[in-house]
Chain A
Amino acid sequence: NAGVMQNPRHLVRRRGQEARLRCSPMKGHSHVYWYRQLPEEGLKFMVYLQKENIIDESGMPKERFSAEFPKEGPSILRIQQVVRGDSAAYFCASSPRVDRSTDTQYFGPGTRLTVL
């Protein structure tokens, strides 16, 4: 059973371009979380999705950021018109959500976004 897959692992964008980050959860997992780790800071929650539904997006900036988890295919975190402050490591995690008292979130290796 492959772990959580994220691609690309490294992404370089110029200011104003769009960044698309992909996350394939573990097999059988229907819940996906995105977190951002800014330099010298801890991981911060961004958004929580189930298949075709956004459950909690309260951690996501109101503008330029969007996320989706379609019925088929990976979850996508999209950042439009990137700025230097978006440079960070973006981590995706998945869980089966069978029992929230025991479910652990399994993390991918992250995508490191650098905005020039």
Chain B
Amino acid sequence: KQEVTQIPAALSVPEGENLVLNCSFTDSAIYNLQWFRQDPGKGLTSLLLIQSSQREQTSGRLNASLDKSSGRSTLYIAASQPGDSATYLCAAILDRGSTLGRLYFGRGTQLTVWP
């Protein structure tokens, strides 16, 4: 069974800081890993998807890395802004036919960026 853990559970920083959010998973047979953003009372927005053959993906101020061998992914947020305040979730899809399509989520990191 895949277990996904995110550290820290909560993070509060002043505007402008560079941030690192961590995600670890127990089953290295992942097919891809996604990072999502969830705003209070709303759905999830996909930020980045890293395929198992890739090591990182970048989008604007966001960079996500993946190390399958150590079971870790990291989301790096550069020059944080108050608008980045949200809960960040990582989720993995296993490379197993029986669980095709199923996303395994961590509990998230609740980020607050204050002006």
Contacts and interface: CB of A to CB of B under 8 A. Distances in A.
Interface stretch (B11-19, B59-67, B74-82, B96-104): B96-104
A100 B49 contact: no
Contacts of A107: 36, 43-46
A42 B99 contact: no
B31 A43 contact: no
Contacts of B72: none
A8 interface: no
B39 to A, nearest CB: 10
A44 B31 contact: no
A33 B36 CA distance: 16
A35 interface: yes
A68 B4 CA distance: 28
A45 B31 contact: no
B32 to A, nearest CB: 6
A93 B36 CA distance: 13
Chain B's interface size range is 20 to 34
Contact of A42 (B49, B89, B93, B101): B89
Contacts of B104: 45
A69 B62 CA distance: 35
A110 B89 CA distance: 16
Contacts of A112: 41
Interface in A79-108: 91, 93, 95, 97, 100-102, 104-108
A55 interface: yes
A74 interface: no
6 contacts: A42-B106, A48-B101, A91-B43, A93-B44, A100-B93, A101-B52
